[in-house]
Structure 1
Amino acid sequence: MGKYQLYMLFFCVCFTAQTLFAQEKVLPINTHLDLVPEEENLDVFQQWIRWNNPGSLLIHHLTKQARDLYEKRDREIAELRTKSDWMNRQRTVRDKLDELAGTFPEKTLLKPQITGTIKRQGYRIDKIVFEAFPGYYVTGCLYVPEGLQGKAPAILNVIGHNQEAFRNPLYQVINHNLAMKGMIVLAIDPPGQGEHLQYFDPDINFSAIGYTVMEHNYFGNQCAISGVSAAKYFIWEGIRAIDYLVSRNDVDPDRIGVTGFSGGGTVTSYIAAFDDRVKVSVPCSWSTTNRRQLETKGIQDAEASFIGGLAEGITLEDFLEVRAPKPTLLTFTSRDEYLTLQGAREAYSEAKSAYKAFGLEDNIEMAEDDSKHWMTAKIRLAIYAFFMKHFNIPGDPAEMEGEVFSEEELRVTPTGQVFTSYGGDMIFDVNRKETEKLVEQLEKSRKNMDHHLGQVKVRAKELSGFIAPAPGAVEAFINGKYRREGYSVGKYAIMGEGDYAIPVLLFVPEGNPKKHPAIVYLHPKGKVTEAKPGGEIERLVKKGYVVAAADVLGVGETENTVANRQGTADAGNTAALIGRSVVGIQAGDILRVVTYLKALPDVNSEKIGAIGIDEMGIPLIHAAAFDPSIKGILLSGLPLSYRAVAMNRIYKLGMIPTGYKGPGLPYKMDFSATIAGVLTAYDLPDLLGCISPRKVALLNVKDHVLESASESFIEQEMDFPTSVYSKSEVPDNLKILPLAEIPGEMVDWCFQ
């Protein structure tokens, strides 16, 4: 090479190095075009048309499945044309209703007491207490007409969701008029109403839980955990009230009627379907279809649906049709706040087809009026006329002016509450006795450890309604990314089991080419809770973990914001109706996130674990028990057992304080963490046993009131999983610590 060529080569090298150095040291910036630093927005669904209302994704996913079940039922109903067809359908429905309600107890002595009497011209009111179960008291008032000639027809009036129950002026007017027209009327206090509060607190002279609907949902959750629909107890009280009526010498057992308004209309339809002695049924402001109920107002009360009812093809219409051709009057208003006129008309139309097949289509009628949720004068007149017609009572059905008594005057018990007057059992106590039997069966099953664990995995999938992710890669969509010091944060939407996506923040360490262990991070307040710089997730990333912080369906960005007028998120009840649970759906979501992580090039697929905070540990335990891809889990603040919720009168799982001043509405209820019927097969500690011998760390375990659990509580609940791990090769892979914070060394122990 000549001198000239050497010179040019030296010049080029120097120029290139100088240029590169200059570019690395100082990048040219036009200050007029430089971007102002932006504030991070960690919402995945930011500016997204398809999922522009993520707060409705959970309820839409559930109602879509409900529609599919309805369409199957529609095809079955469309095939029914003859009387024989409908009679076969009735037999099927009765069998399924018996199965859904569960076995009713043996009838025991009612031991009725008359605690007082009010006499007025034309009638008297006897104040009644009877025992639906031994030691379980029901209060009511019996309106008896004067001058009865022979046996009279009798009507049971089951009351809607008024706190004062039958003492409300509306019910008093109706009861007065029915009595004055020659009918005996028994009006009773439903559970959680009037003098029959289930969680009465003498210190506040009110329910510790809240007004009537709150109580219904509260004990309804305890019943559901034990596999029983709360409706069973409302039905049983009605059946026993009819037992009392037909035991009287002045009642004609062949002329028994039942009526009720609003929530009482629901119970009316149930009693009339279950008790063949009911000749005439008048459910008011209830008649609807499950389809329209779910599409519009949603399930509002625990007793308003049966666990797994729609999954079995049973809908609200069936309660009308199963009693065809017995006389039935439906009443409804045009602007009902709780149900829809469309649903009422559709239910009436379908039921009329059944009555027509029997040749008695005039035995079913519907009275409408233009009003909000109410029993208008027109509707009340229709009620009186319908009972008089079918009980063969002559006279004018027009409404009379009636005396309205004060609540004090209609008080049945000495103190104004069954709880403080007689003690005895409430629905919780009755359900607890049944739950004790389930717990005994679990303890017995656990003695055959291997068989029990195998059965738990099968039954947990069935009861939770878990659907395993399809094999193969999951679909994911990136909607933004931020760079922070030492790592990046990607915003991803991972497709769930239906037409919804799981929002995920993916935290990936930078500057290290090796594959990283990965953690799925689940927080009940959402993925952003610990996602800010300096938060728990950043500490995990800087320790070398890839972290996927996920909002499984119903959490964080996808938190269910669709609620009924009581502010109660009804996703848990809706899921139970179709044979599923929110927990089971969330467990599937967790495994979809795990599947996504396994496919990432910078993740060690053999080292994927998960952290569940508080109640998010419940779906995480299910996911880990169902799929060994999750190599270890860390649970902080886990409510350790469903047993404790069902077996203790007061619990707090699913109870969200409202800040309301006063006793009426202290909580909003969201039972998304509940699995209907769970205690018929397993509890959360059983799932921990299924995870053995993989690593499990439990920190600051919670009890039924979400307080740090006592040593005795932990010892009782953890006895079975501890024994499972003790028989494994790695008994120390189960750790239980009282720590409130998550220490770094515990994370490394779980996931390295």
Structure 2
Amino acid sequence: MQKEMDFESLLSSYMKLIKKRLSIQNKFLGKIFFVIVLLSLSSNSNAQKELDVIKDWKGFSNAPNALYDHITDQAYGLLNERKIEVENLRSTDDWLKYQEKVKGSLKKVIGEFPARTPLNSKIVSTIEKDFYRVENILFESQPNFYVTSSLFIPSSVKEGDKVPTIVYCSGHTAQGYRGGYQQIILNLVKKGFVVFAYDPIGQGERFQYFDSVNNESIVGAVTREHAYSTAQIFLNGSSLTKYMIWDGIRAVDYLLTRNFVDGSRIGMTGRSGGGFQTAYISPFDDRIDAIAVENHITTYTRMLQSIGPREGEQNIIGMFSNKIDHADFLIAVAPKPALMITTTNDIFNIDGSKEAEEEISKMYKAYDKEDNFGRVEDLAAHSSTKKNREATYAFFQQHLDNPGDPFDEELVPLSEEELQVTPTGQVSTSFDNYESVFSLNKKEAEKLNEKLKRSRKAIEDYPAKVVEYAKQLSGYIKPGTNPKPVLTGSIRKTGYLIEKYFIKGEGDYPVPYLLFTPDASNKKAIIYLHPDGKIASSSESNEIEDVVNQGYTVLVPDLIGTGETGPGEWLGGSYFDHAYNKGLIYQIWYPSVMIGRSILGIRVSDVLRLVQVIKENDEIKEIRGIAHEQMSPVLLHAAAFEKSITHVALIKPYSSYRSIVASRFYAPQFIDNAVAGSLQYYDLPDLAAGLAPIKLLISGITDGNGKHENLSIINEDIEIIKSGFKNTGTENNLFILDNASIEDLYNFFD
């Protein structure tokens, strides 16, 4: 349907162009041109329809969402196991043991925090207002990793006073706490609380990809900044979550340097993305005495059923496989006072909020502290309401021992200029020595790479270990019994036959594929992987037809998430609009990481099912593989896991996962087949080196941005591969070319 709409739209554009450009005298020529365009576009559209395998099969009407459905089905299973465990908790002792288990799981998935280094805090300016003053403050949560913040201090605070203090975490606004959060901040100050607000990573004055010319984020503000950096951090086995939690912990560190802050009365609150920060930071900092989480807590089951996974920083490797749900963050802080602030029409489903509330309440009951937990609700969308703000004031007044009127007043917010901390309004353009998430993560990758270099010296043991690491980290599941292909149609071409098949994939979804069988077979088959799926076979430079005409049987699939089985309808903040992006869906990649698997692992399993199909054909004696661009890691893993593929050709592959981490602006589509945590144990060149002694051709290798800018890493990666083949004495089986021609492929495969 979309292709038909695109065709009509394009046709309409051409008609308008014709009317505009052609004079009355050239009407006849215009009609001829129109017919040519119509025939050309109709031909392309019909070619695509001609290659459809499952379009008219009613049972596969939801096939474009197959990848999301398959991954979330596994997530639901893991979350349901957790739910059953919680439902079976009976005694106080059961709940206390469960809480300790949750704390241990949270520590495991987050990992070790950085060392506590000097904050090097500085008050850069002070503004006096009628009932408070503001100190604009700069501090370093890590060396040269600057945090911009403002401390709101009531005028009533006198020398020697010890005042209850609240850390305010901002939601997803480009302005950070200068955005729509000042109403609650200033009301808390008016009621006698000190409030400390700071910019989260990628917001306010802490854009990680700032364009000083256009005064905006290069990759897209806020959620896209988070998604873009999250992918690189995942490859190291860490998370943006850890960076943001650590910022919150260091914010509390700073507060305790101020003599008027009462260390026994510290609260934390925030809405939306600020609610996430509040929920996730508080289990890791015992100094936070009371929390109010607004517009965030639901259940992950409800979230996956409705809006899908949220922004990058809210996702953690192995979160679901370690049976962690939203409620667990508040269960972990019990019996400290906690408040859930909800709205009925929130994007975070209200029924999920109620289900989470039920679980959390039982934890507080186990402590006999039911009064320390509650939930408030108002009829509204994903927003702050007067009722909910007043409930927040009352909560902190009660639990931080600061009684008073909880009435919400309309107060005049400060301007962005008044709350500006850095000289230019951005850390990145104010300091030459600043660190970004990218630079810090890149340094971690360099440390991991030094560890891999040491491992590679164990020539005999390492290749086998790499395969096991890759299987485990990718979440690969070995195919079971041979799948039975279903034929849905055939197309006769000059010199060959195209048959349209599908098989059952790893889960309850089809894997459509085209089988090109030459009239004169050379008894060799090629499995052909392309980011565009089987529609690549209709391209003008028809590589597939060329090799079929040489006698090769060629199998071209739509691997899950491509072609007729993708990429899905989950848009949100998951797409990047770079010219080189072909539509990677981050929101599908996230849950694959959270269940402890990868999209790549699922695809590899299906590729090896297709290999089984080829092997069932007695006429075929040898199997080769060709993969283009970001599909190259799939073929590389498949060939490493299954020795039936004797020749592997990678066309324009990126050189390594490390090259993605090392590229400040990597190509987003490369993340599709990335394996979270891989750089702790192996990288793509290790798999390629381990393919020896089979034949390997690499043509047009690129860096993590799909270019040739980071030549040092490209060359290092090539040397790793060369060493693997040299160690087996099969250097002549490795071919590294700048731009392989079709003749080069013929020669290689022969």
| TM-score, normalised via structure 1 length | 0.90
Change (3 A) 1:128 1:354: same
Equivalent AA in structure 2 for residue 643 of structure 1: R
Aligned-pair CA distance for 1:645 = 1.4
Aligned residue runs from structure 1 range 188-227, under 5 A = 188-227=198-237
Q: Structure 1 residues 89-98 or 460-469, which shifts more?
A: 89-98
Q: 2:628 aligns with which of 583, 594, 613?
A: 613
Question: 310, 317, 335: which is aligned to 2:327?
Answer: 317
Deviation at 1:182, TM superposition (A): 0.8
Indicate yes or no: 2:261 matched with 1:263.
no
Q: Which whole-Å CA distance do the structure 1 matches of 2:453 and 2:639 have between them? A: 23
Distance 1:706 1:698 in 2: 14
Deviation at 1:511, TM superposition (A): 5.1
Equivalent in the alignment of 2:744: 746
* Equivalent of residue 516 in structure 1, options 499, 523, 532: 523
CA distance in 2, matches of 1:82, 1:182: 41
Q: Does the CA contact (< 8 Å) of 1:81 and 1:357 recur in 2?
A: no
Judging changes above 3 Å, is the alpha-carbon distance between structure 1 residues 533 and 717 closer, same or farther for their aligned structure 2 residues? Answer: closer
Q: Does 1:361 align with 2:376?
A: no
Give the aligned partner of residue 31 of structure 2. Answer: none
Aligned-partner residue type, residue 72 of structure 1:
E
Counterpart of 2:52 in structure 1 is: 43
Partners of 2:208 and 2:237 lie apart in 1 by 20
2:129 matches 1:120: yes
Residues 498-647 of structure 1 correspond to what in structure 2 (within 5 A)?
498-510=507-519, 516-531=523-538, 535-568=542-575, 569-604=586-621, 607-647=622-662
Instruction: Establish whether residue 162 from structure 1 lines up as the match of residue 182 from structure 2.
Output: no
Would the aligned equivalents of 2:202 and 2:208 in 1 still touch at CA under 8 Å?
yes
The answer (yes or no) to whether the contact 2:311–2:573 under 8 Å persists in 1 is no
Q: Tell me what 1:238 maps to.
A: 248
From 468, 476, 488, give the equivalent of 2:478: 468
Partner of residue 248, structure 1: 258
Task: Report the counterpart of residue 61 of structure 1 in structure 2.
Answer: 70
Query: Is the 2:135–2:151 Cα contact (8 Å) retained in structure 1?
Result: yes
Larger of the two Rg values belongs to structure: 1
Distance 1:533 1:615, change over 3 A: closer
- 2:191 is aligned to 181
Deviations 1:273-297 (A, max 9, x none): 1111111111110001111111211
| Residue equivalent to 1:416 | 425
1:373 to 382, 388, 396: 382
State the partner residue of 1:691: 691
Aligned to 2:109: 100
CA RMSD of aligned residues (A): 1.7
Distance 2:47 2:562 in 1: 26
Residue 708 of structure 1 and its aligned partner are, at CA, apart by 4.0
Task: Considering fraction of residues, name the structure with more helix.
Answer: 2
Whether contact under 8 Å (1:189, 1:195) holds in the other structure is: yes
- Alpha-carbon shift at residue 475 of structure 1 (Å): 2.2
Q: Which whole-Å CA distance do the structure 2 matches of 1:381 and 1:711 have between them? A: 58
Give, in angstroms, the shift of residue 236 of structure 1. 0.2
Counterpart-to-counterpart distance in 1, 2:303 and 2:173: 21
Shift, 1:576, TM fit: 0.3
Note the C-alpha offset of 1:564: 4.2
| Number of residue equivalences | 692
Which is worse superposed, 355-364 or 633-642? 355-364
- Aligned partners of 1:245, 1:40: CA distance in 2, in Å? 63
C-alpha contact 1:259 1:281 (8 A) present in aligned 2? yes
What CA distance in whole angstroms lies between the structure 1 residues aligned with 2:534 and 2:384? 48
Correspondence for 1:705: 705
Amino acid at match of 2:119: L
Q: Distance in 1 between matches of 2:341 and 2:736?
A: 58
Residue deviations 1:428-477, cap 9 Å, x none?
A: 1221222111000001101112211111011100111111111x421211
Match among 423, 447, 457 for residue 467 of structure 2: 457
- The Cα of 1:488 is off from its aligned counterpart by 0.9
Gaps of 5+ in 2: 1-45, 576-585
In structure 1, stretches of 5+ residues that fail to align are: 1-36, 656-670
In structure 1, distance between residues paired with 2:539 and 2:206:
50
Change (3 A) 1:714 1:234: closer
Distance 1:90 1:280 in 2: 18
Once the two structures are superposed, residues 77-112 of structure 1 have per-residue CA deviations (whole angstroms, 9 ceiling, x without a partner) of 122122221221121111221121111112111121
Moved more, 135-144 or 727-736: 727-736
Contact 2:164-2:402 at 8 Å conserved across structures: no
- Asked whether the 8 Å contact 1:617–1:636 carries over to 2, the reply is yes
1:493, distance to aligned residue in structure 2 (A): 0.7
Tell me which residue corresponds to 1:308. Answer: 318
Q: Which residue identity does 1:334 align to in structure 2?
A: T
**CA deviation profile, 1:464-510 (whole Å, cap 9, x unmatched):** 1111111x421211111111111111111111111011110011112
Q: Which moved more, 1:704-713 or 1:134-143?
A: 704-713
CA contact (8 A) 1:309 1:577 kept: yes
- 8 Å contact kept, 1:59–1:562: no
SS across alignment from 1:672: helix
Q: State how far apart, in whole Å, the 2-side matches of 1:373 and 1:299 are.
A: 16
Aligned AA (1:746): D
Shift of residue 601 of structure 1?
A: 3.5
1:287 aligns with one of 279, 297, 314: 297
Say if 1:224 and 1:677, in contact at 8 Å, map to a contact too: yes
> One-letter code of the match for 2:461?
H
> Could you say what secondary structure the match of 1:310 adopts?
coil
Paired position in structure 2 for 1:678: 678
Contact 1:633–1:750 at 8 Å: present in 2 too? no
1:220 CA displacement? 0.7
CA displacement at 1:163 relative to structure 2: 0.4
Task: State the distance in 1 between where 2:713 and 2:254 align.
Answer: 44
- Give 1:582 deviation, angstroms: 0.4
2:574 and 2:587 in contact (8 A); partners too: no
